[in-house]
Amino acid sequence: LHAKWFDPQLVERLRNAYVQSQNSPSKEQRDVSAVLRRIQGAHAVNYVTECGLSLDMAHPRSKRGIEVYGRQHYMRNPTTDSWVENGPTRFKSRLLEARGWTVVRIPFFDWEPLATHDEKVRYLESKLKGEPVENGE
């Protein structure tokens, strides 16, 4: 949004209402955060960017974030029987990227099958390096 088109006080009130409406972290978000803490140390949780977009986890100085995507972030493609990101999720990703953020996505269908802590560490390290990771690897 271009703030010049809106009353700055209204924009601030809307931003504050959005920030306050954010849910507490899910079990999966807490799990990913714990693994991330072991790999990279401290990070912000439920970080809200300067433009009001939230990230599950973030390193604000480097503008790197992690989003843990549950089922609500996807829809099922009946032709291929695969999961695809829904419109709001894709739009938020584009907005963050336009603001200079690099976002690592952790989909539920990759994270849930990981049974051990070591599997989770390997998976998250691969995602952070930008390496392709097969489902359930």
Q: Who wins on pLDDT, 13 or 27?
A: 27
Nearest 5°: the CA angle 11, 61, 110 is 90
Tokens 């799990």 sit on residue: 31
- For the stretch 28-74, pLDDT in tens is 999 999 999 999 999 999 999 988 899 999 999 999 999 999 999 99
CA distance 100 to 15: 20
Read off the pTM: 0.78
